[in-house]
Structure 1
Amino acid sequence: MTTVHANGVALGIESFGPDDAPLVLLAGGTTMLSWPDALCERLAAGGRRVVRYDLRDSGESTTADPEAPAYTLRTLAADAAALVEALGGGPAHLAGIGVGGMVAQVAVLDHPAAFSAVTLVGTRAVAPGPPDADLPDHDAATMGRLFARPLPDWSDRGAVADFAASGAEILGNDPDAARTAAARIWDRTPGTAPPVQMANQLGLVFSRLDCSPRWRERLPEITVPALIVHGRRDPFFPVGNGEALAREIPGAQLLILDAAATAIPAPAIDQVSEAMLKLP
């Protein structure tokens, strides 16, 4: 892992595969560890240069004030395009997961020359907050259980990992994988201040981020090949959100993972990587 300077900030990255291979850029949601190691390795074995990266205010990327971010969603989209240029591998296949999928949508709309394809995993076409009337909202019962838990002591690595595991179980993800990832994220988080930890572990910086203007109405402008991946059991962004993206992005391919929730589970790695490798 290292950092690359792009768009005026340092962005934490990790690379897999040869530097001269076609670039696949994986936008974190919010840290790079949202993307499983095994998926990165599988894409690299398929002849790609894979670079996963941390969004601002997470991981090894520039961290300022997650409670009052002095940037917008469009800034994060510009970061992705600038990172492609800094890596010298463009145009790139850009992939985003969760909130990183929102970054990816805006990036391919605002900076089309930087990208050759886009993959959107477990995301939706509107910003955090109440969705459009035709899009399914978070499952209320699941969210009630998720947010009823007391927050952990953010200075206690084990407590944070256990908190992540319990959340994964509520969401329908693998709790052991979540515990391991949370411990790794904790190790990479610059300090134990609650706002910084919550930006890294929970992505809460997005709840304070300016995500205007809307971009859903612009989705038909996306002309690069698109893959939409969504878990059928996702209670956070229910599958109807992925189906809407597939309808509204011209020619988009929809891959529904029947046994998945919000994360890409280990048994689906081959299926997802094979679909991604078909894109330029």
Structure 2
Amino acid sequence: MPEVQVNGIQLHYDEQGSGEPMLLIMGLATQMIAWPPPMLDALQAKGFRVIRFDNRDIGLSTKTDAPRPRRKDVLAAAASARFAKSDYLLSDMADDAAGLLDALGIDSAHVVGVSMGGMIAQELTIRHPEKVRSLTSIMSNTGNRRQGRPATTFLPALRRSMMAPPAETLDQAVDMGVLAWRQISGPQFDEQEIRSLVRAAVERDPDPIGRVRQLLAINASPDRTPALRKVTAPTLVIHGLLDRLVTPSGGMATAKAVPGSRLLMFPDMAHDLPRGRIPEIVDAITANAARAGQAAPAAASA
């Protein structure tokens, strides 16, 4: 699998298809292999050059060389932004994404992010507006802690999952991963499919500490709402009404913040990409990309 050096780190990436570039940014503790193959194939069939990558601290990309975060620091960061300390911020991860586009010789791309990836995609659009033809933010939020917070009933499970000690065996790690996916997914959860995905992810990256570092980056990053009000890229916001990890108010706040954005919410979607909804999601992303039209920088030469 190819890799590039950007922003002082190595990023592993993959691409398929040809046409207008579309950069996919995955979420917290989740590797690029989590993008559903039917979604990748459908986007390619729509005429996009689909690029995905492992964020820093996950998968095959660079891991932070620093002391492991302490449990008390993680809990303090979750309680208040004042106590949140991180080795990097979401803005640094957005610069990673911008660097990947530069390394691939891409002036601008359509950008799609899910969960933390949506936060990174928003930061990319804010910090490097010339690089973003269109923005799709899925099951994410603006960084305002009053909106898109985990459901109160879900917080204990979330804390147990994030702070769990490393598994002692591969099978135990897979079981823990499947349980975490089940807790955030909606009614279309496919255990066999997720078990296969989790096993592949654990084999690629057996040390889960990256998820804690990424969580600290989220908690330490500022509210993006004021900057989102200045975004001019065509923007689509997608959210599930069943989402307990990033509750629907996060998506609604994002759509409200970005002028001219469009909001699409699914009643049977939680914090996942339901296979039955992928055709609609891909059609919506494609329609949003089309809104960029000829105004997108370098659209004819990419």
Q: TM-score range by the shorter chain?
A: 0.7 to 0.9
Q: CA deviation at 1:152?
A: 6.5
Q: Does 1:113 align with 2:122?
A: no
- What's 2:45 paired with? 45
Deviations 1:52-84 (A, max 9, x none): 111101111111237366332211111111111
Segments of structure 1 that go 5 or more residues without pairing to the other structure are: none
Stretch of structure 1 that moved more, 51-60 or 136-145: 136-145
Return the TM-score normalized by structure 2: 0.81
RMSD after superposition: 2.1
Q: CA deviation at 1:242?
A: 0.3
In the alignment, which of 24, 27, 41 is matched to residue 25 of structure 2?
Answer: 27
What is the alpha-carbon distance in structure 1 between the residues aligned to residue 65 and residue 112 of structure 2? 26
What is the alpha-carbon distance in structure 1 between the residues aligned to residue 157 and residue 57 of structure 2? 27
What is the alpha-carbon distance in structure 2 between the residues aligned to residue 145 and residue 83 of structure 1? 34
Closer, same or farther in 2 for the Cα pair 1:25/1:136, shift >3 Å? closer
Deviations 1:9-62 (A, max 9, x none): 2111111112xx110001121421332122111101110000111110111111
Tell me if the contact between 1:119 and 1:229 (Cα under 8 Å) persists in the aligned partners.
yes
Counterpart secondary structure, 2:51: strand
- What's 2:244 paired with? 235
Matches within 5 A, 1:129-278: 131-132=145-146, 135-148=147-160, 151=164, 153-173=166-186, 174=189, 176=191, 177-189=193-205, 192=206, 196-199=207-210, 203-209=211-217, 211-278=220-287
In structure 1, give the amino acid aligned to 2:100.
Answer: L
Give % identity.
27
State the number of aligned residues: 265
Deviations 1:118-141 (A, max 9, x none): 1111111007xxx12xx2521122
Segments of structure 2 that go 5 or more residues without pairing to the other structure are: 70-85, 291-302
What is the alpha-carbon distance in structure 1 between the residues aligned to residue 184 and residue 248 of structure 2? 14
Deviations 1:127-184 (A, max 9, x none): 7xxx12xx25211222324545794753522222211222222223425133222111
